[in-house]
Amino acid sequence: MMLEVSKLSAGYSNAVLAGIDLNVERGEILGIIGPNGSGKSTLLKTISAILKPMNGVVYLDGKNVHKLKPSELAKELAITTTNRSDVGFLTGFEVVSLGRYPYTDAFGRLSERDVEIVMEALRLVNAEYLADKPFSEMSDGEKQKIMIARALAQQPKVLLLDEPTSFLDAKHRVEIPLILRRIANEKGIAIVLTTHDIELAVRICDRIVMVKDGRVVAEGYAEDLDSEIVKELYGIGVAEFDPFLGTFELKGEGRAKIHVVCGGGSGARVMRLLTKNRIPFTAGVIHENDIDFYIAKHCAVGVVKERPYEEIRDETLEDAFRLVENCDLVVDTGFPIGKINARNLEVLRTAKRVYSLRSKKELEKIDLDAEVIRMADLLKICKY
């Protein structure tokens, strides 16, 4: 075990955290997620010995980190915080080379080897081009890369990152997680990061620990994350986390006047558009293994589903007919028609008014009487 946190309690004057147990292996990324103010940052600062623990121990390779000298610990463990420092005229290279602090002589002179390590750290975070740029003139994303490179220059075994992807632009929000994976894989560094972004945590972390009110409420592999736990953690009523999609989906509410017939992913955008605009709808028939089903599960107020890879049965079709009957209009998302979902055409044909996203030619081919619309018109029609 690279890093082991045992029964840790920490805080400033009052304990913010109590009885925290964690462990991280070499090359593993552990995500600590929880709402803002749940004690995530305090936890990282205590693990890194910036704060003293009130109780409990943190072991790094079997050594108690709070008993190590700062200069010894700095060679084993590095941290980036959310603190955006104003470092004056220092360039990217100079900031990263500060990470060599525990290795350089009394005046901080860099040896050839130090320069190599600094350049390697810059390479690992795709930031060689920032070496001569003044740190104060960099964007948040660039600064974050430089601060990660600075931490790497300490040649640590464990890297702690507090909110590494907050306040970043789209490019860096994608790039930095990839960089972290590379650091874990190439260098075998154990990474512990905090975030309040579950979608991101699921994408990059191996394991996830959820913290709420200073306690670990759940932990496990990112892939095992349960939507009920997320609901409890964040207490969001209007959206639900889908562990399969790895995203939050808004929840539809109300009495549906619209029915959506979809499948094969063709309904995803339609359903999200309607939900976003608070237009309640029902959906079906959708197969349970269809991506549209995962979205409809949250967005639609009612779904008619069929077992995976089976042709639509009579009972299922009856259910769909009943939903269509209660609706004012039906939307055909232009789903691909194959053997197992062919009977969805029957659903469309029972409807009084059908709006279709298919082309006229296609509609003629399947012999469906519907009005052709584009995605952009959908909202106008559905709001009527």
Partner 1 sequence: MRIKFVILSFISIISIFVGILAGSVHASIHDLYDYLKGKQDVRGYIIWEVRVPRTLGAFLGGACLAVSGLLLQTYFRNPLAGPYVLGISSAASLAVALCILAGMGIHNVGIVGSAFLGSMLATVLILCLATKVRNAVTLLVAGLMLGYLFSAFEKILITLAESQKVHQFILWTFGSFSGITWDNLELITILGIPAMMLVFTLSKPLNALLLGEEYARSMGVNVKAVRMVIVTLSSFLTSLVTAFAGIVAFVGLATPHMARLLFRTSDHRILIPTTILLGAIVTVLCDIISRILLYPVELPVSVVTSMFGAPIVIYLVIKRRRV
Q: How far is the CB of 33 from partner 1 (least distance, A)?
A: 22
CA distance 34 to 307: 36
Residue 359 interacts with partner 1 (CB under 8 A): yes or no: no
Going from the C-alpha of 355 to that of each of 279, 349, 368, 378, the distances in angstroms are 16, 12, 11, 8
Joined tokens for residue 155 = 């040649």
Calpha distance 81→42 (Å, rounded) = 11
Cβ-based nearer residue to partner 1, 162 or 292? 162
The yes or no reply on residue 45 touching partner 1 (CB under 8 A) is yes
**Residue of 136, 277, 289, 350 that binds partner 1 (CB under 8 A):** 136
Which range of residues in 46-54, 172-180, 252-260, 321-329 is near partner 1 by CB under 8 A? 46-54
Which two tokens mark 99?
A: 């990470």
Distance CA 67, CA 63 (A): 8
Q: CA–CA separation, 74 vs 151, rounded Å?
A: 9
Beta-strand relationship, 190-195 and 29-33 = parallel
Compute how many residues bind partner 1; rule: CB under 8 A.
34
**Residues in contact with partner 1, shown as a per-residue x/- string from 283 to 302 under the rule CB under 8 A:** --------------------
Nearer to partner 1, 64 or 136 (CB): 136
Q: How far, in Å, CA of 257 to CA of 44, rounded?
A: 50
Q: How far apart are CA 249 and CA 285, in angstroms?
A: 20
| C-beta closer to partner 1: residue 67 or 307 | 67
Least CB distance to partner 1 at residue 24 (A): 17
Report, in Å, the least distance between residue 80 CB and partner 1.
8
Question: What residues contact residue 335 under an 8 Å CB cut-off, 6+ apart?
Answer: 261, 262, 263, 264, 266, 267, 341, 344
DSSP one-letter code for 238? S
**Least distance in Å: CB of 103 to partner 1?**
9
- Options 1, 21, 64, 71; binder of partner 1; rule CB under 8 A: 71
Pick one of 3, 17, 22, 74: the residue that binds partner 1 (CB under 8 A).
74
In the complex, least distance from residue 126 CB atom to partner 1, rounded to whole angstroms: 22
Give the shortest CB-116-to-partner 1 separation in angstroms: 19
What is the widest separation between alpha-carbon atoms in the chain? 84
Cis peptide before 115 (omega within 30 of 0): no
Burial of 75 per CB tally in 10 Å (0-12, 13-18, 19+): middle
Q: Does 138 interact with partner 1 (rule: CB under 8 A)?
A: no
Closest to partner 1 by CB, 155 or 282 = 155
Is the CB of 74 or the CB of 304 nearer to partner 1? 74
User: Using the rule CB under 8 A, is 124 a contact of partner 1?
Assistant: no
Closer to partner 1 by Cβ: residue 101 or 167: 101
Cα distance between residue 201 and residue 220, in whole Å: 12
Considering only residues 75 to 104 of the shown chain, the ones binding partner 1 according to CB under 8 A are 75, 77-79, 81, 83, 85-90, 94-95, 98-99, 101-102, 104
Per rule CB under 8 A, is residue 42 in the interface with partner 1? no
Residues lying near partner 1 in the complex (CB under 8 A): 45, 48-50, 69-75, 77-79, 81, 83, 85-90, 94-95, 98-99, 101-102, 104, 106-108, 136, 154
